Amino acid sequence: MQKAIHISRRLRAGRLLTSFFRPNRCGAATFALTILICLLGAVLLAGPAWAQAGKPPATPQPGAGGAALKPAAPAQAVVICLDPGHPSEVNSGRTVVHGVTELDMNWQVSEKLAALLAQTPGVKVVKTRQVKDQLSTNRERAEVANRAGAALLLRLHCDYGKGSGFTLYYPDQQGKKQGFVGPSPQVIAASRRAAQALHPGMAQSLAGLLKDNGIRGDSSTAIGRKQGALTGSIFSQAPVVTVEMVFLSHKADADFIKSPQGQDRMARALAQGVMLYLKGLANAGRGAAVK
């Protein structure tokens, strides 16, 4: 209907133009004035069509027609990369201490944590390896997180030596390994923020069960003292935190982490820490959008 009206307006304009171009008895000046008026009229009539040209099509309104509606793009999932420590180029993790191996403890808690995180909408879990006994270098583990675009590389280990309880480590400076210097200052800052978010979640869940040794820098570890940071941190492009969940050399710690209840408790503590971290990320995202 709209189109028909438009065409009839154009036809009328055409007839008008033809009539103005007929020879006129009133002389050249009148003829020139007539042409001018006629051109002006044509411009005014064609105006609305010009105005439409180059304009973006009107935004389809919801409910205006099924064909115009686009499906909403799926929200991008946040990737959490879980890295159960060992077997690596440094250590197989198969030494039996107080009846258990670090490899088994790291793997079992990681599997429980993966199951918990997988229930969280918008979270995708990526593991640095699919099989417990698969040898994987610490560089390769970081590269899995890098390829996945992980928001966090969470590395699970158990400590040995004097002491007990859990400790969080993050790269507090750059290190050097295989001629490569890393991680970037941005990753160092983001890793510190991640450790600071994870720690209260873990501390709350593990209060009264394990000693809380707080947050420390990679540079305070034996490997960190040698190369500046842990190898998995040096090659990481994702914020990276290494959690030494317990001291396996401490009998009570070993008893805790080898019991199904202790492993459940550790997995829940880590999941709570990850949730706090993700909440912080979401808040930071909203803050950036408001600025």
Binding site for Zn ion (CB under 5 A): 85, 157
Residue number with the shortest CB distance to Zn ion? 157
Give the count of alpha carbons within 13 A of 96, CB side only: 1
Taking CA atoms, 273 is separated from 59, 85, 244, 283, in Å, by 43, 19, 14, 15
Q: Report whether 104 contacts 110 (CB < 8 A).
A: no
Say whether the peptide bond before residue 183 is cis (omega within 30 degrees of 0). yes
* CA atoms of 276 and 213, how far apart (whole Å): 19
Nearest-approach distance from CB 228 to Zn ion, in angstroms: 19
* CA atoms of 163 and 147, how far apart (whole Å): 36
**CB-nearer residue toward Zn ion: 257 or 276:** 257
**CB-nearer residue toward Zn ion: 161 or 285:** 161
Nearest-approach distance from CB 276 to Zn ion, in angstroms: 24
Nearest-approach distance from CB 151 to Zn ion, in angstroms: 23
* CA atoms of 38 and 61, how far apart (whole Å): 40
* CA atoms of 272 and 45, how far apart (whole Å): 68
Say whether the peptide bond before residue 56 is cis (omega within 30 degrees of 0). no
**CB-nearer residue toward Zn ion: 88 or 237:** 88
Sequential DSSP letters for 81-145: EEEE--S-SS--S--EETTEEHHHHHHHHHHHHHHHHHTSTTEEEEES-SSTT----HHHHHHHH
Nearest-approach distance from CB 179 to Zn ion, in angstroms: 25
CB proximity list for 9: less than 8 A, separation 6 or greater: 45
Nearest-approach distance from CB 133 to Zn ion, in angstroms: 15
**CB-nearer residue toward Zn ion: 191 or 242:** 242
Nearest-approach distance from CB 160 to Zn ion, in angstroms: 8
**CB-nearer residue toward Zn ion: 127 or 157:** 157
**CB-nearer residue toward Zn ion: 217 or 232:** 232
**CB-nearer residue toward Zn ion: 174 or 231:** 231
Nearest-approach distance from CB 157 to Zn ion, in angstroms: 3
Which helix (H) or strand (E) covers residue 285, if one does? helix 260-290
